[in-house]
Amino acid sequence: MSEMLPPTATPIEAGLPWERPSSGLGSMLPTIGQFVTSPLAAFSKMSLTVDLVRPIAYYVVLVLVGAAIAQLWNAIFFEQTIRMLRQLLPPEFAERFAPLLQRPSVVQIVLTLIITPLLMLVLLFIWTALVHAGLVILGGAGGGFAATLRVVCYARTSDLAAVVPLAGGLVGFVWRRILEAIGLCTAHKCDPWKGAVAVILPMVVCCACIAVGAFAFGAAIASALKQMG
Amino acid sequence: MTWRSPTADDRRIAWLWALCAVLSVALRPIWLAAVPLLPACPWHRLTGVACPGCGTTRAISRLLRLDLAGGLAMNPLAFAAAVVFLVVGAIAPAWLAMGGRVPEPAPGPQWRWGIAGAAGVGLNWAWLIATGV
């Protein structure tokens, strides 16, 4: 009798669409949707045994999409952005960054789209290693390096924030850190604070100067705006 | 720390590491072209004292130019980390293919590692300040 009852949930339905056997690029959209709408549930569904090529491929595709959207905004708002930068940046900076303040050619855009995923692959590995080192110290790395790598790959869903013009990078950065913290505590089954600290620690240790720089840059912009006003 | 037999994930990670090491060297012209465009360390500018990461860019760019002594002097910790990243990455797949085992940290917090890491960063920072990097 029990053999006739329908199963309540098949393993296929339980996993991420992108991780189902022989799923194509089309399964990426529902996967993205799950990470956008309910990241906690999506990370709970994330497989810790599926071939690592899947999450890495997801990462590369999302990086490419983000880079393509950024190039699109760059093409649309190029003149306005350059005008604003020239007003805000001190003359020595404008001189220094002169090569970057010219409209890129089609060849440059294509080269950027080819090189960006390669650069980001190197950064993926380095960032994962830093985050995982923090987790190991805190005793929250039960799932191993591969689990951290999977989380960092899927957290790249945040690159979709590039659709927000100008502020997309900052929004994506914050969103990525939140996704990583959620994913780490879900995948490693550790306390949420450990996931959050593991994500923040490398930035505090390695990038304290960036934080000071961001503050100095903000102060410079504020004083420039005051002078303009 | 224990040593265990590699899993399928470990083999993938070893290949990813090797790919990243190769890409890091292959993209050398891009890294070197980007160095002059990077702004000076804002911490150093504000305080006049090196930050823990000061000299990292110079250390890595000198490593990419094979100026090993110069790179080591710029930021010993960053230089050592970059060398470990490149060398271990290059041999990782071969190590596993030859039956090498994989290190696994013991469960629970590894405070000794944390203290060792903090001491390493602190000593490196003292070196940077003392040498005026």
Cβ-defined contact of B43 to A207 (cutoff 8 Å): no
b/e for A82-95, b at 16 or more Cβ within 10 A?
eeeeeeebeeeeee
Contact A31, A17 (CB under 8 A): yes
Contact A16, A45 (CB under 8 A): yes
How distant is the Cα of B69 from the closest Cα of chain A, in angstroms?
23
Report in angstroms the alpha-carbon separations of B53 from A55, A91, A135, A215, B130.
31, 27, 21, 17, 14
Give the CB-side neighbour count of residue A58, counting CA atoms within 13 A.
28
Residues of B with Cβ-Cβ distance to A217 under 8 angstroms: 42
pLDDT score for A10: 45
Q: How many DSSP H helices and E strands does chain A contain?
A: 11, 0
Hey, what are B80's tokens? 């050592």
Element (H, E) at B3: strand B2-4
d(C-alpha A221, C-alpha A165), whole Å: 19
pLDDT score for A9: 46
Domain extent listing, chain B: 2-131
Residues of A with Cβ-Cβ distance to B30 under 8 angstroms: 115, 119
Query: What is the distance between the terminal CA atoms of chain A, rounded to a whole angstrom?
Result: 80
**pLDDT tens column, A107-146:** 888 888 999 999 999 999 999 999 999 999 999 999 999 9
Residues of chain A scoring pLDDT < 70: 1-13, 96, 99-100, 206-229
pLDDT score for A1: 41
Q: Each residue's pLDDT tens digit in chain B (133 positions)?
A: 899 999 999 999 999 999 999 999 999 998 888 888 777 787 888 788 888 889 999 999 999 999 999 999 999 999 999 999 999 999 999 999 999 999 999 888 899 999 999 899 999 999 999 998 8
Which of B10, B41, B43 should be substituted to probe chain A, the one whose Cβ sees the most A Cβ atoms within 10 Å?
Answer: B43
Contact A20, A27 (CB under 8 A): yes
Name the phi and psi angles at B103, rounded to 5. -75, 140
d(C-alpha A201, C-alpha A140), whole Å: 14
pLDDT score for A51: 94
Label residue A6 exposed, middle or buried (CB < 10 Å: 0-12, 13-18, 19+): exposed
Tell me the residues of chain B between 31 and 70 that have a Cβ less than 8 Å away from chain A.
Answer: 37, 39, 41-46, 51-54
ipTM of model:
0.90
Report in angstroms the alpha-carbon separations of B78 from A99, A155, B56, B81.
29, 26, 6, 5
Residues of A with Cβ-Cβ distance to B41 under 8 angstroms: 209, 213
Cβ-defined contact of A56 to B16 (cutoff 8 Å): yes
The pTM (predicted TM-score) of the whole model is: 0.85
d(C-alpha A199, C-alpha A195), whole Å: 6
pLDDT score for A105: 84
Report in angstroms the alpha-carbon separations of A198 from A36, A38, A135, B70, B77.
22, 22, 5, 32, 20
